[in-house]
Amino acid sequence: MKDNSNKGILIFGGARGIGGETAKYFSERNWNVIAADILDKELGELEKSGKNIKTVHCDVAKFEDIENAYKFAEKELPRLNGVFNNVGIARYGTVDKLSLEDWEFTLRVNLTAQFISSSFAVPIFKRNGSGSIVNTASVLAHMNQKTTAAYSASKAGVMALTRGIAVDHALDGIRCNSISPGSINTPLLKIVAEDIMGRTSEDVAAEWAEFHPVRRLGRPEEIAALVYFLINDELGFITGSDYKIDGGSSIQLFK
């Protein structure tokens, strides 16, 4: 295995689901990992799962928490090579029903947090001479479901932000790409199914799987593999792109 012991990644939303699996994926490949999240219990469990995983409390809606995560990463990592901005929340409603507060909070977490994070990453990467950022968009940045105007707008903004960073900092040795996951089988699915929809997660997973040509949901470790691919410094010609990982759901008009 390649020696990655001098490499480090900071993962926001890193406690569980996609972020947690990505932390483990990098750790298993000898990267040094900082996982930042608001879920302290899950962070503690994650830290015990890998010898080179450290964690820090972070609410990405707060500027000072993101700043503190970077200070912690610079102190604890031998070098910061990559940042995975794995953040996102949803507030549902049509534009005539959705409150301004919900609209602004959705953009704050989904888009502004990734801007703030990137604004800290870029100076560090400039000093290092290289670095890679992976932002999290969504398949709903490419198309919409009903009542997802705020979420879709925020995630489409992430794609534009990603292109801007890539263009502005290409000559600094900094790459920036985004990923657009479809329906992924994470703890969030269970929360949506049981707490919002009042159904079992198994029933909802089976129903959502039918919307994908591959007839299943994605696995968090599949997202982790894509992030690892994009962070890898051997792929220096890839920047400013968005990668859909959605089981084909965005290419099929009718089932």
Q: Which positions are annotated as active-site residues? A: 151
Work out the number of other CB atoms within 10 angstroms of the CB of residue 101. 9
Q: What are phi and psi of 53, to 5 degrees?
A: -115, 125
55 contacts 73 by C-beta, under 8 angstroms: no
Q: How far is CA 184 from the centre of its chain?
A: 12
CA 129 to CA 46: how far, in whole Å? 30
Burial letters 209-233, b for 16+ CB under 10 A, else e = bebbeeeebbebebbbebbbebbbe
247 contacts 181 by C-beta, under 8 angstroms: no
Q: How far is CA 70 from the centre of its chain?
A: 16
